[in-house]
Structure 1
Amino acid sequence: MKILLTNDDGIYAKGLLALYDRFAEKHDVTIIAPDRERSAVGHGLTIYSPIRIKKINDHCKVNGYAVSGTPADCVKLGIVELLDHKPDMVISGINPGANVGININYSGTAAAAREAALLGIPAMAVSVQGFITDHYADAAVFAEKLFEKIVQRGLPRGTFLNVNLPDLPLDKAEGVIISRQGASALDEYFDQRIDTRNRTYYWHGCDLPAEIEIREIDENAVLNNFISVTPVRCDMTDYSLLDDLKTWDIGGIIE
């Protein structure tokens, strides 16, 4: 099958190459990924500057393109322009650091999978807990097995799977939980500092929320060494409020 790989950590990131090594044995794989780290850029698109690409040579071990834009740019540019065929699936990752809870909104890894889903391509985003890991190969094995399930069962248009694994060998994980996205707010702060020219600058930081007891929430699943698989919809309509909102007589505001 034809697979497009991307990420938000740059084209030479270890997690991306682990996916390439795993899938290239059996599939037609193309990498289209940022030419540098693009973490936490969300679903941003490049519209006020040109997007430049560089074809990666064979001696670099990968078949693909380094792109000056965002992860969402990579997917959109790849599907609309660079590829001579639509991929059967887009896989984004493997990201170092879990993308769970509200962080899904900021994640470039998740945004790349979301862009594919918006374009009607089945997709998944794959992340591993912890920013330093030796278990990319294990995560790639799980991604391959989940890929086979998606091929068999399909995904609804506009939905992608957000996958987060504990930083463990695959056989040491407690199991798989089909989870929902957590909504706990982070304890955020800005560390104020002074540079060598006596100018103020800030480093953004945050503390993780307290552990949530509900096992089916993605954050808690990974903290308890389960693999979390969350279906994420591109349609952000709050259907629980839709009918109630119609009773507000908002139309009367302009009368």
Structure 2
Amino acid sequence: MFPPPPEMRILLSNDDGYYAPGLAALAEGLASLGTVTVVAPERDRSGASNSLTLDRPLSVRRAHSGFWYVNGTPTDCVHLAVTGFLDFEPDIVVSGINTGANMGDDTLYSGTVAAATEGYLLGIPSVAVSLVGTKFENFATAAKVARGLVERLAAAPFGSPILLNVNVPDVPYEALKGVQVTRLGRRHKAQPVVKGTSPRGETIYWVGPAGAAREAGPGTDFHALEHGAVSVTPLQVDLTHADQLPALREWMDWMTK
């Protein structure tokens, strides 16, 4: 649909580990678009967010699949790849395909989104792709959606670095109900921790499940997925709460008196 330039260089990563089926499906789906290089964590690092490993050195090894894997976080993988491990700068970073949703508040914790965010921070158009469901039978659907976005970014560059968070229903491609440009919804607070006992009799805790959707009306990522559509949300990294700046300046007046 949108033929990319033959020299296109694509960097793939994820947070589920270099052996994850979603990563293999993504690499296969994008292979004919250019040179695909995979640099991913050596194990599942879901929930790692945007953490960098600064307290120890990192190593990079190559699997039989040809994928490179790092004993670090998703952010480490993209950072190493772009800032010196590779002898070229990728044209695009694609992270995924994650097994599970990354919608609403999930994006703050997601290692999938973090890998794409690192590419974005380094000035490279980046896309995070997640498959939303419970059976995870249709990675090919998410790979085809990712391919379309990569083709579009190659044929019509956005003009400035862009960070896209993409959630795809776990259905055959023909069953998708379109694609919607969305904003992030919001979840209720997380459910309580799950308390247990270790074999040694110690009290242990599992982090509880994410909260249910709270803000999930039309225009949100939750609403799009609920209605069988792909959700595409542009993200930014500026965390400044701009609406509170005037009130905070007034609140801080006492310090200048």
TM-score for both structures, normalised by structure 1: 0.91
- Equivalent residue runs for 1:111-126 within 5 Å: 111-126=114-129
Q: Which moved more, 1:185-194 or 1:121-130?
A: 185-194
Q: 1:69 aligns with which of 69, 72, 87?
A: 72
Report which stretch shifted further, 203-212 or 189-198. 203-212
Distance (whole Å) between structure 2 residues aligned to residue 175 and residue 197 of structure 1:
52
Give the secondary structure class of the aligned counterpart of 1:154: coil
> Structure 1 regions of 5+ residues with no counterpart?
none
Q: Does 1:22 align with 2:29?
A: yes
Deviation of the 1:22 alpha carbon: 1.4
Alignment-derived partner of residue 60 in structure 2: 53
Unaligned 5+ segments in structure 2 are: 1-7
Question: Measured at CA, do residues 207 and 11 of structure 1 come closer, stay the same or move farther in structure 2, by a change above 3 Å?
Answer: closer
Aligned to 1:253: 255
Q: 1:70/1:191 Cα in 2 relative to 1: closer, same or farther (>3 Å)?
A: same
Q: Tell me which residue corresponds to 1:150.
A: 153
SS of equivalent residue, structure 1 residue 228 = strand
Distance 1:31 1:131, change over 3 A: farther
For 1:35, give the aligned amino acid: E
Secondary structure at the residue paired with 2:75? helix
Q: Distance in 1 between matches of 2:75 and 2:159?
A: 20
Other-structure match for 2:5: none
Counterpart of 2:209?
206
> Contact 2:185 / 2:213 at 8 angstroms: preserved in 1?
no
Alpha-carbon contact 1:7-1:109 (below 8 Å) kept = yes
Indicate yes or no: 2:202 matched with 1:195: no
- Alpha-carbon separation, structure 1, partners of 2:43 and 2:92: 23
Q: 1:50 to 1:245 in 2, by over 3 A?
A: same
Q: Which moved more, 1:25-34 or 1:211-220?
A: 211-220
Q: Would you say the 8 A contact 1:101–1:184 is kept in 2?
A: yes
Q: Identify the residue that residue 226 of structure 1 maps to in structure 2.
A: 229
Tell me: CA distance 1:184–1:208, structure 2 relative to 1, closer, same or farther (3 Å): closer
Give the 3-state SS of the residue equivalent to 2:96 in structure 1: strand
Quote how far apart the aligned CAs of 1:52 are: 1.1
Q: Contact (CA 8 Å) 1:211, 1:220: kept in 2 or not?
A: no
Structure 1 distance, partners of 2:253, 2:49, is 34
Residue 252 (structure 1) shift: 4.1
- Could you tell me which amino acid in structure 1 is paired with residue 220 of structure 2? I
Paired residue total: 250
Q: In structure 1, which of residues 6, 12, 22 is the aligned counterpart of residue 13 of structure 2?
A: 6
Identity %: 39
Deviation at 1:15, TM superposition (A): 0.6
Q: 1:33 aligns with which of 15, 37, 40?
A: 40
Deviation at 1:150, TM superposition (A): 1.9
* 1:106 paired residue number: 109
- Superposition TM-score, scaled by structure 2 size: 0.91
Which moves more between the two structures, 142-151 or 73-82? 142-151
Q: Which one of the candidate residues 87, 90, 95 is aligned to 1:92?
A: 95
Q: CA deviation at 1:7?
A: 0.2
| Residues 211 and 223 of structure 1: CA distance in aligned 2, closer, same or farther (over 3 Å) | farther
Q: Give the distance between the partners of 2:236 and 2:70, measured in 1 at CA.
A: 26
Moved more, 41-50 or 149-158: 149-158
**Aligned-partner residue type, residue 145 of structure 2:** F
Q: Are residues 210 and 101 of structure 1, via their aligned partners in 2, closer, same or farther at CA, if it must alter by over 3 Å?
A: closer
